Amino acid sequence: MTVALLPVKPFAVAKTRLATVLTPTEREQLARGLFRQMLAALGSCPLVQRIVVVGPAEAQVAGVGWQPDPGGGLNAALAAALTAVAAEEAALVVPTDLPLVTPEALAALLSRRLPGTRQVVVVPDRRGEGTNALVLQPPDVIAPAFGPASLAAHLQAAQAAGARATVVTLPALALDLDHPADLHALPAGVLAALLARGGAGEASTPALRR
């Protein structure tokens, strides 16, 4: 079985690096919209059998597993969650902020798993430095190392663990929303749709402040 771990920050304090182009309300709506979109994509991917949200109580969703964030940062939270699902065959760690994600892209990633093999599958960000998705087989094959230069860190950890390392480049998973330039790289209409999905009603497209 493959379990998907979805780390989440409190929505009101997410996406602070976008403060120069989005208002606090827009940032919270964006965080909620990205979260809901990723949940929908994972739920529609036939190769994901279970979803566990790792984060604050406000991110609990009916029918979806939840692991509270014990504090200590993203990698500490994921390490605790991976320990909790260690009996599963594999774990997919995926952040919420991939605005172009599709169930098909997630299935293409998980299809690169080789059952019965100690394996780490990494999806790089569009800069070729960060990690936008991580498949661990088994879940404790390496410790998560998200942060600056995490692509290299995960590959080095896989080598040290004697695990097969696979890099998979997928356009639908390459763009993450960390910096203002990432918002400007979005196709027309995507930002407005995410804001609407994260808000109580329809949201207009914000005028991005450059």
Residue 202 reports pLDDT greater than 60:
no
Report pTM. Answer: 0.92
Note the pLDDT of residue 200.
Answer: 58
Residue 210 tokens, joined: 């450059």
Q: How far, in Å, CA of 75 to CA of 53, rounded?
A: 14
- The residue ranking higher by pLDDT, 128 or 203, is 128
pLDDT in tens, 79-117: 999 999 999 999 999 999 999 999 999 999 999 999 999
The percentage of the chain sitting over the pLDDT mark of 90, rounded to a whole number, equals 92
Residue 210 reports pLDDT greater than 90:
no
pLDDT in tens, 71-80: 899 999 999 9
Q: How far, in Å, CA of 106 to CA of 172, rounded?
A: 9
pLDDT in tens, 180-200: 999 999 999 999 999 999 995
Residue 92, phi then psi, degrees to nearest 5: -105, 120
Q: Which of 3.30.70.2740, 3.90.550.10, 3.40.50.620, 3.40.50.720 is the CATH number of 2-196?
A: 3.90.550.10
User: Strand pairing partners for 120?
Assistant: 136, 165
Note the pLDDT of residue 209.
Answer: 36
Burial class (CB in 10 A: 0-12, 13-18, 19+), 94: buried
Q: How far, in Å, CA of 144 to CA of 194, rounded?
A: 28
Q: Where are the domains of the chain?
A: 2-196
In whole numbers, what is the pLDDT of the chain averaged over residues? 93
Please give the average per-residue pLDDT across 134-162, as a whole number: 97
Please give the average per-residue pLDDT across 163-183, as a whole number: 96
Residue 65 tokens, joined: 């597993």
Residue 172 reports pLDDT greater than 60:
yes
pLDDT in tens, 27-58: 999 999 999 999 999 999 999 999 999 999 99
Residue 207 reports pLDDT greater than 80:
no
Please give the average per-residue pLDDT across 14-26, as a whole number: 95
Note the pLDDT of residue 206.
Answer: 37
